[in-house]
Copies of this chain bind each other. A is one copy, B any other.
Amino acid sequence: MLRIAVIGAGRIGHVHAKTIASHPDATLELVCDPVGDAAEKLAALYGARAAKQTDDIFTDPNIDAVIIGSPTPLHIPHLLAAAKAGKAVLCEKPIALDMADVTAVESELDAITTPVMFGFNRRFDPSFAAIHKAVGDGKVGRLEQLTIISRDPAAPPIEYIKVSGGIFRDMTIHDFDMARFFLGDITEVFAAGQVLDPAIGAAGDFDAAVVTLKAASGAVATIINNRHCASGYDQRLEAAGDEGALFADNIRPTTVRFSSATQTDAQDPYLDFFLERYADAYRLELSAFIEAVENGTKPPTGIDDAIKALRLAEAATDSARSGKPVTLA
């Protein structure tokens, strides 16, 4: 039974708290958030303790592991402090808004000895994971072209956009990790950014993008992003090889199809939003974390994955702004 504290009582903190509470091998010990009574409210839902200071976590011998869901600029400080305190860490993406912040603490990150996993939850989605396994088993032969379609139901508030680090760090980061999950090292990034909502453009960001990634293997990945999708949270993946292809479709709340005089087999809109769509993925991510911590094995995603995804996000940002492809070392 892993005793876990959650840092950050925001949207993602709620996801993790709920996932822990219903997990047979974990208990939610404490929720920490400095803002108002956010921690208390979330903790109360699951009978956990609440704290305003993260120090309360790090010095608490009854806490085995920490899930970091604080604002991105605090990810590295919380990660380093938790690790120093000997806690296992599951940290949300991205690791930072700026590679410079990572580079500045490189030796400290290298020195971490406690288990650290990064929250690339989509790797644990049953459909994506099944495709990853099937590709690994050779079902499609050599993987040649990967297509990831990832559209949010609606853009977040403009205030969030402004501090988000931009679409590539905030949203595409998941798709970058997914591309690496399937293709390994990426050598070149070309990003075509789109400004569909002028307010988002005025904030210096893009709200849609098509990213081309060349992999060292010779494969090419395409990521199609949009901050908006009329039909819900559009999350698809297609892995095409020389002997076959695998596809993951959207998920709907029911299997109902409706036919009438004007159309046939109309289905429900897609599950909306990530809490529902990736509920299984969050649960399986937590299981993988618990398993790694308890067995002393390497977590399936680590600091290196977080850094490489961030590098791709920075490269894509540069590419979209400059209009030129960016080569990765």
Inter-subunit contact A256/B212 (CB<8 Å): no
- Residues of B within 8 Å of A196, CB to CB, are 142, 144, 218, 242
Interface residues of A in 173-203 (CB under 8 A from B): 188, 190, 192, 194-196
- A228 touching B250 in the complex, CB below 8 Å, given contacts A264-B266, A265-B265, A268-B264: no
**Complex interface: stretch among A30-38, A125-133, A296-304:** A125-133
Distance A247 CA – B256 CA, assembled complex (angstroms): 5
Other-chain residue from B222, B242, B247 in contact with A230 (beta carbon distance below 8 A): B242
Which one of A139, A141, A195, A244 has the highest number of Cβ atoms from chain B below 10 Å of its Cβ?
A244
Assembly of this chain: how many copies? 4
Residues of chain B contacted by A240 (CB below 8 angstroms): 151, 226, 229
In the complex the two chains form, is B224's CB within 8 Å of A145's CB? yes
Q: Is the CB of B269 within 8 A of A262?
A: yes
A22 to B22, CA, bound (A): 7
Q: Is A245 positioned at the interface, with any CB of B under 8 Å from its CB? A: yes
User: Looking at the complex, which one of B188, B210, B241, B261 makes contact with A244 (CB distance below 8 Å)?
Assistant: B261
Neighbour of A255 across the interface among B127, B208, B245, CB < 8 A: B127
Q: Is the CB of A247 within 8 A of B266?
A: no
Measured CB to CB, the closest approach of chain B to A138, in angstroms, equals 11
> Who on chain B is nearest to A254 by CB?
B127
The reply to whether A230 and B208 contact each other, CB–CB distance below 8 Å, is no
Within the complex, what minimum Cβ distance (angstroms) separates A45 from chain B? 9
> Least Cβ distance of A221 to chain B in Å?
8
Q: Report the Cα distance A324→B212, complex, angstroms.
A: 12
The verdict on A107 contacting chain B, using a C-beta distance below 8 Å, is no
A-B contact pairs, 16 of them (CB 8 A): A127-B254, A134-B256, A139-B260, A145-B210, A194-B218, A210-B220, A243-B260, A247-B256, A247-B257, A249-B257, A251-B255, A252-B264, A258-B263, A263-B269, A266-B267, A324-B325
Chain A positions near chain B (C-beta within 8 angstroms) = 22, 126-127, 130-131, 134, 139-142, 144-145, 147, 149, 151, 188, 190, 192, 194-196, 208, 210, 212, 214, 218-220, 222, 224, 226, 228-232, 240-270, 323-325
List 9 additional contacts besides A230-B245, A231-B264; criterion CB under 8 Å. A147-B147, A147-B224, A188-B192, A230-B259, A231-B260, A246-B257, A247-B259, A251-B255, A264-B270
The 8 closest A-B pairs by CB, nearest first: A266-B266, A244-B260, A249-B255, A127-B254, A263-B266, A231-B259, A247-B257, A230-B261
